[in-house]
Amino acid sequence: MMRKPVTMLKHSWIFLLVFVGLGSADEPGREWTRFRGPNGTGIGRAEHVPVKWTEKDYNWKTRLPGEGHSSPVIWEDRVFITCSDEQTALRMVLCLSVTIGQILWRRDYPSDPYRHHQDTSFAASSPAVDSHGVYVTWTTPKQVTLLGLDQTGTQQWLREWDMFDAKFGSGVSPVCYEKLVILANDHRADSFVVAVNSRTGKTQWKLKQTPGKTPYATPCILELDGKQPEIITVSTANGVSAIKARTGELSWTLGGIAGNPARERPVCSPIVADGKILGVYGTGGSWDDEFCNPTG
């Protein structure tokens, strides 16, 4: 069996763990393209994950130039990760070799420091990646940024929207679907879900949302036989929503400010499992969950 990589980020280091049984290099779907992997499920193909890691499980270990809370993503032989300088708010996008851990390129984006939760950082959002490039988002109180780079690190496009009103900073990550990059920009001011062309950054569609207490849930994709693919979002003000992935049309919504079962922000990202959509709401030691039928 071939050995394939699984990565993890710990403090200011990135580690490569090598497990057996992830399939051949030509097998489709082996890439880890977004936060929590395939459609946000957190499920990989490794069959022999150790209960405890030891030094012999690490193929390499590389010191990163900053800290962060984002997760790495993988496409073929490259790992992409973000980190930041907590003193200056400098954001960094890095590409590393899967095989040896060498930093292949780094791109820096200066910013201004701002208040955020003590348990997060200026690099909280995970990248998304596809065969064309890598896509990164971050926020400041003044603006929301979404940008696309090719896999050599050359910036292809950059989009900015006015202000981000949130008490604790941001943490939602972009996701890729077909030739779209989708971002749920949900906060206490001008909220929307937007899909841009992954090659050009031009807006494909934009759906306005009701502002509310800022959530931290990254969308997932719902694909049912005979139906159009839908983006599943979970937010405080808008509840659980299904949005047609190719057009931005709202298919259905459940909950929202009036119907949110816990009336609290969702931090956990939604997943699709066993024909159901699962979203979790909660705060400060309390939580509630919501199951719904994918047909609405």
- The CATH number linked to 59 is 2.40.128.630
In a domain, 221, yes or no: no
Number of independent structural domains in the chain: 1
In a domain, 132, yes or no: yes
C-alpha to C-alpha distances, 185 to 5, 83, 166, 215, 268, nearest whole angstrom: 32, 21, 11, 9, 16
In a domain, 197, yes or no: no
CA 125/CA 69 separation, integer angstroms: 7
In a domain, 232, yes or no: no
CA 111/CA 259 separation, integer angstroms: 38
User: Residue 95 belongs to what domain range?
Assistant: 1-173
Q: Per-residue confidence of the chain (296 residues) as pLDDT tens digits?
A: 333 444 444 446 665 554 333 333 334 446 899 999 999 999 887 777 788 888 888 888 899 999 998 999 999 999 999 999 988 989 999 999 999 999 999 999 998 887 776 777 878 899 999 999 999 998 887 888 999 999 999 999 999 998 777 677 788 999 999 999 999 988 778 888 999 999 999 999 999 988 888 888 899 999 998 899 999 999 888 889 999 999 999 999 987 665 555 567 778 899 998 878 888 776 665 444 444 444 44
In a domain, 75, yes or no: yes
In a domain, 7, yes or no: yes
In a domain, 219, yes or no: no
CA 115/CA 179 separation, integer angstroms: 34
Residue closest to 277 by CA, chosen among 32, 86, 39, 45: 39
In a domain, 33, yes or no: yes
Cβ(19)–Cβ(8) below 8 Å? no
